[in-house]
Amino acid sequence: MFNLILFGPPGSGKGTQSDKLVDKYGLKHLSTGNLLRQEIADKTPLGIEAKSFMDKGQLVPDEVVIGMVDSYFDQHIEARGFLFDGFPRTVAQAVALDKLLELKKTSIAAVLALEVGEEELVKRLLNRGKTSGRSDDTNEEVIRKRFAVYSNETTPVAEHYKKAKKFKSIKGEGTVGQIFDAICEAIDKKIER
């Protein structure tokens, strides 16, 4: 299995790039944001609980997200590898993911982090909010809250993978194609090793 994490703040292009990467490398896309939005659309108890956190720009509790990832993983065990998008978002989630992968006798090959300035991120998200129907994109206050949560709870995850020498920053500004090429270059170097 070849497993990657696409890391970066809200609006940095993780979802956009994931769609292209899963096509090119034949990986299974595991976006916890998409899984949670599906639970909300299906009006499941998990979705109803998650919505109250997501609407405020807060993280959904670790145990809820880890349980969801665990069962998604088991349902797609035949996959060549996974592209994790928006997960892990806390150190507890990163530790749980390490353990889960170890049990499956695999690991994370690389963490690729998209770097984008905050004003560009706000612009992208407000713009998407005009059409996405995502309640967390329409209110600038909620968007700023998501950045604060990212800074406080998610940036320590970068340290976790830097210690493991798996972390690589990638410039996330430019055209979608330019950024895709830079990500592919980093992945191809990993595959060649």
Provide the annotated active-site residues.
14, 89, 128, 134, 146
Quick one: 2 or 93, whose CB is closer to ligand AP5?
A: 93
Does position 8 interact with ligand AP5 (CB under 6 A)? The reply is yes
Closest CA to 143 of 115, 122, 114: 122
CB 87 within 8 A of CB 69: yes
What are phi and psi for residue 58, nearest 5 degrees?
A: -95, 165
Which amino acid, residue 165? K
User: What is the DSSP code (8-state) at residue 27?
Assistant: P
Does position 59 interact with ligand AP5 (CB under 6 A)? The reply is yes
Q: CA–CA separation, 22 vs 31, rounded Å?
A: 12
Does position 89 interact with ligand AP5 (CB under 6 A)? The reply is yes
Does position 160 interact with ligand AP5 (CB under 6 A)? The reply is no
Which amino acid, residue 151? S
Does position 12 interact with ligand AP5 (CB under 6 A)? The reply is yes
Quick one: 90 or 187, whose CB is closer to ligand AP5?
A: 90
Which of the ranges 11-19, 39-47, 97-105, 181-189 carries the binding residues for ligand AP5, by CB under 6 A?
11-19
The two structure tokens encoding residue 51: 């919505």
Q: Which of 5, 7, 30, 57 binds ligand AP5 (CB under 6 A)?
A: 57
Closest separation between CB of residue 193 and ligand AP5, Å? 27
Which of the ranges 6-14, 39-47, 72-80, 102-110 carries the binding residues for ligand AP5, by CB under 6 A?
6-14
Cβ-based neighbours of 160, under 8 Å, separated by 6 or more: 91, 94, 95
62: Cα separation from own chain's centroid: 14
Question: Contact positions toward ligand AP5, by CB under 6 A?
Answer: 8, 10-16, 32-33, 36, 53-54, 57-60, 65, 86-87, 89, 93, 124, 128, 136, 146, 176, 179
